[in-house]
Amino acid sequence: MTGAPEDRGSTDPAPDPGSDAAPGSPSNARERRRARRVSVAALGGLVVVAIACWRPLVAWFTGSSGEPGSTSSVAERAPIGAGRGGDVSYYTCSMHPSVHAREPGKCPICAMDLTPVTGDEERAGVIRIAEDRRGLLGIRTTRVVRAPIDVEITAKGRLVVDESRLHDIALKLGGFIGDLRVNASGQTVTRGDMLFTLYSPELYAAEQEYLIARQGADAMRGERLVHAAETRLRLWGMSEDQVAVLAQRGEPIERVPFSSPVSGVVIEKNVVDGAAVAIGQRLFRIADLDEIWVEADVYEADLPRIARHMPAAITLDYLPGKTFEGRVAFVYPYLDPASRTGRVRIALPNPRRELVPDMYATVAFKLRLGPRLVVPISAVIYTGPRRVVFVDLGNGALRPRDVVIGARSGDLVEIASGLAEGDAVVSAGNFLVAAESRIRSAGSFWEDRHDDR
């Protein structure tokens, strides 16, 4: 059976009508032509958009007007500091300070009238911020006013014994202590209380001489001897009552009692029972604590404000809630070289003995300075040794100005020089204003002045 011969030389399947066209086919060429036309159209659209938006974009980024004849472009912008004195350096917009134009006109961004900036203003760091923008930036101004200032100077102090109320017990002759009544420091004694008895061979001999002189007191010479012997006994520490008892008794007292001449607290004791003592030896130191001193350490910068009779309030942690009122009694005429502080003394009555030496205290001095020019402390910028405020010149202009500050009272600070009553100064947001002024200032206002004092 004979059939049609099988074609084995062609094994590729027949083209699928649904598959992509083979390269070089008419349909593939049409797709490439369509893609080229789309690309050309898109590129043309971008060119048109760029041409249409070129001027606004230039105005936005450079602050120029973008007009062909404009003189406020980046290349033609007036150089910083070109103005001299009152000459106009450039024109700017208070809403958009980045706009700098050499001719008056409208702001290219907001269409507001441009304001002139002189060379003096530029060198002085003057910037312009519109009134309606200040609220958004948190910038507020305050008027300089004249108000009374009450200054409070606080210092740390220590309670000490009143030096004018100290008394030392010392002997004017040697001997031996007996019957010691004051056995410890801190003991309270009253005037007339017996402290100890003393046996002294010299004092015993003087008593005998006194008694012998009294026995021969008939003649005038004997009276002089009696007076001399009695005076010697008193000078050696015997009281008139003891001399009278000696004369009445008629024989010497071997152990003479010695009494306290003052009332107070024994703060120092240098003797024990039976001890031998010499002439001039200090046995006790007694302090009268009915009045006590407070010595406050005041910084040397505050010392010129402290004067005698100035009121002071003293508080102690030992007595919370209680304040002692006193007045400055003395200002010491020297400083502590280590702490650079001066010492101020306040005398306080202490009838109830509430105040004890060596307690620590806080001392507040009240000083009324009267009416002074003041601004909020937040208005002052500290730049090294300088103090700067920003003054509102009107029309959105803010100018930095050096000032000299004085006393501080709460949130207010005194302006000693640099401002006048009624001036408006920036009291909030001034650090933002200062940063902008530094950036835009062409002069040397913000340069560091390390030699200023």
Using the 3D structure, point to which of 230, 261, 287 is the last residue of a domain.
287
Q: Is residue 124 part of a domain?
A: no
Same domain, 294 and 283: no
pLDDT in tens, 82-141: 444 457 767 777 667 667 787 888 888 887 777 776 656 666 677 778 777 787 788 898
Same domain assignment for residues 263 and 172: yes
**Residue 202: pLDDT over 50:** yes
What residues pair up with 156 in beta bridges, in sequence order? 297, 362
Residue 129 neighbours by CB under 8 Å, 6+ apart: 94, 97, 137, 139, 396, 398, 433, 436
Tokens of 113: 């009238």
Residue-level pLDDT at 137: 81
Its domain, for residue 365, covers 154-162+289-369
Verify that 224 and 278 share a domain, yes or no.
yes
Same domain, 215 and 281: yes
Handedness of CA 296, 300, 408, 432 (dihedral sign): negative
Q: Which of 297-311, 380-394, 424-438 has the highest mean pLDDT?
A: 297-311
Q: Does pLDDT of 5 surpass 70?
A: no
| Domain shared by 281 and 314, yes or no | no
How many residues comprise the chain? 453
% of the chain exceeding 70 in pLDDT = 77
Amino acid 275 reads A
Do the domain assignments include residue 200? yes
pLDDT of residue 69: 39
At 359-381, the pLDDT tens digits run 999 999 988 888 999 999 999 98
Comparing 7-21, 145-159, 248-262, 391-405, which segment has the lowest mean pLDDT? 7-21
Residues 236 and 317 occupy one common structural domain:
no
Q: Is residue 272 a part of any domain in this protein?
A: yes
Give the pLDDT confidence of 203-230 residue by residue, as tens digits: 999 988 888 888 775 555 667 888 888 8
Q: In terms of domains, do 207 and 312 share one? A: no
| Contact present, 406 and 130 (Cβ < 8 Å) | no
- On whether the CB atoms of residues 139 and 146 are closer than 8 A, the answer is no
Q: Is residue 348 in a domain?
A: yes
Separation CA 423–CA 421 (nearest Å): 6
Mean of per-residue pLDDT scores for the chain = 80
Give the C-alpha distances (Å, rounded to integers) separating 440 from 100, 118, 122, 126, 452: 11, 13, 8, 8, 23
pLDDT digits (tens, 9 = 90+) for 135-162: 778 889 899 999 988 888 999 999 999 9
270 and 198 belong to one structural domain? yes
Per-residue pLDDT at 440: 62
| Separation of alpha carbons 160 and 357, rounded Å | 5
pLDDT at 259 (0 to 100): 92
Q: What is the pLDDT of residue 48?
A: 66
Q: Does residue 222 sit in the same domain as residue 265? A: yes
Question: For residue 57, is pLDDT > 60?
Answer: no
Q: With bands split at pLDDT 50, 70 and 90, how would you rate the model's confidence at 453?
A: very low
Residue 376's closest CA among 409, 327, 346? 409
Is residue 19 domain-resident? Answer: no
Min mean pLDDT across 121-125, 225-229, 398-402, 429-433 is at 121-125
Last residue of a domain, one of 287, 307, 341: 287
On the question of pLDDT at 27 being above 70, the answer is: no
Same domain? For 303 and 343 the reply is yes
Q: Considering the chain, what percentage of its residues have pLDDT values greater than 90?
A: 38
Identify whether the C-beta of residue 96 lies closer than 8 Å to the C-beta of residue 63. yes
Q: Tell me, yes or no, whether 275 lies in a domain.
A: yes
What are the structure tokens assigned to 77, written together?
Answer: 């912008």
pLDDT at residue number 249: 86
The answer on 317 and 283 residing in a single domain is no
Domain count, the chain: 2
Mean pLDDT, range 244-256, rounded to an integer: 89
Nearest to 389, CA basis, from 415, 422, 410:
415
Strand partners, 123: none
The answer to whether the predicted template modeling score (pTM) of the entire model surpasses 0.75 is no
Domain boundary among 369, 393, 409: 369
